[in-house]
Amino acid sequence: MSQGGKKRVLILFCGGTIIMKEGRDGTLVAPSRKEAVANLRAIEARLATIADFDIRFVENIDSANMTPSDWDRILAELEAGYDAWDGFVITHGTDTMAYTAAALTLAIKNLGKPVVLTGSQIPGSRLETDARRNLVNAMKLATMDVSGVFIVFDERVIHGGRASKASESRLDAFTSVNAQDAGEIRAEIRLSPALPRRRFDKAAFYPGFEPDIVVRTLTPGCDPGDLVFLLQHKRVQGILIEAYGTGNLPYDFDGLFRAARDQKVPVVVTSQCLHGVTRMQGYEVGARALKLGAIEGHDQSLEMLAVKLMWALKHYPYKDIRTVMQTSFAGELSIPVA
């Protein structure tokens, strides 16, 4: 680790549009590993003026192909390099970047350094790319006096536990869900004064996620029978329902809650509203689901709830999952839960 001089930053290379090239049919594809790392280096030749850095290859994929075992690999790299580096940048596709950010937010305790995810909407090789700016700002954030998992994109610094991809093509691709941004990127990076500073704590890593969950968005008249079928055939370990408004579900979901409780499968309920926060006691249709065992998602993002459910299923017994889902580990939940 640096002693007051230039900071040392490890870049974990995970693929994404930032290094992609156009294939023969016009689609964007990940090039060979060698070409991909060369593409990343070519984005900005002066990165070393920000920090001494090295690039560690983790994988070279479209992030649509990311799985929880890839999150574990990223966590293993962070753990292995934790003492030697002052900060980390993860270059990653934008499609599932918010899920990876949620996973790292939950799985690292006592994080005392910045871990910054970034990528781009336009490949780094194109003239009009947003890659250069995002990469440079991510590197700068990784050297700053702050700790936590963040996404740096366009003019925003977003808390890793609150991020969601809000646009498939805007350069301002990410938004903070039910929270303020952690900072803004102007001529300089301005961070919220409330963010935790760097610390010398020993970080602890808790990888492991159960991928076998189902996320179901309610539509009027939808049949809860397909979820009951999955339960009966033991094909699912956890269920996340995007319900209406404040967390309201039709009466015919009662049977699903009963079946899930019998089989000790947690059912989390969130709101399908864009900026939705659950208040399931507000209507009889929500309160009824709560009585039958629904776990309220409160103001957490869909990405966070899905990843937290996967993480909780791997690390805690059924009886503790409600408490885990309703605990804020790193600011991803702001409503005090009774």
Spatial distance between the Cα atoms of 117 and 254, rounded to a whole number of angstroms:
40
Under the criterion CB under 6 A, does residue 296 sit at the interface with ligand ASP?
no
- Which residue's structure tokens are 């290379």? 13
CB-wise, 64 or 338, nearer to ligand ASP?
64
283 noted as active-site residue: yes
| Catalytic (active site) residue 175 | no
Q: Is 63 in the site for ligand ASP (CB under 6 A)?
A: yes
For ligand ASP (CB under 6 A), the number of binding residues is 10
How buried is 239 (Cβ within 10 angstroms: 0-12 exposed, 13-18 middle, 19+ buried)?
Answer: buried
Q: What is the DSSP string of 172-238?
A: S-EEESSS--SEEESSSEEE-TTS-----PPPEE-------EEEEE--TT--THHHHHHHHTT--SE
For residue 305, CA distances in Å to 45, 136, 239, 278, 322 come to 39, 30, 10, 12, 12
Q: Where are the alpha helices (DSSP H) in 16-59?
A: 33-43
91 binds ligand ASP (CB under 6 A): no
| 137 touches ligand ASP (CB under 6 A) | no
Report if residue 95 touches ligand ASP, rule: CB under 6 A. yes
* Residue choice 11, 75, 77, 93 for contact with ligand ASP (CB under 6 A): 93
Asked if 161 touches ligand ASP (CB under 6 A), the answer is no
Q: Which residue is nearest to ligand ASP (CB)?
A: 93
Q: Does residue 234 carry a catalytic annotation?
A: no
Length in residues, the chain: 338
CA 259 centroid distance within chain: 30
Token code pair at residue 309: 């459910």
Distance from C-alpha of 179 to C-alpha of 160, rounded to nearest angstrom: 11
Distances (CA, A) of 83 to 7, 200, 249: 13, 9, 48
- Concerning whether 83 is annotated as a catalytic residue, the answer is no
Catalytic residue among 82, 91, 94, 140: 94
Q: Is 95 a catalytic residue?
A: yes
Q: How far is the CB of 123 from ligand ASP (least distance, A)?
A: 9
Piece of the chain touching ligand ASP by CB under 6 A; list 58-66, 69-77, 292-300, 330-338: 58-66
- Nearer to ligand ASP among residue 41 and residue 165 (C-beta): 165
Q: Report if residue 17 touches ligand ASP, rule: CB under 6 A.
A: yes
Q: How far is the CB of 93 from ligand ASP (least distance, A)?
A: 2
Binding residues for ligand ASP, rule: CB under 6 A, are 16-17, 62-64, 93-95, 119, 121
Active site residues: 17, 94-95, 165, 283
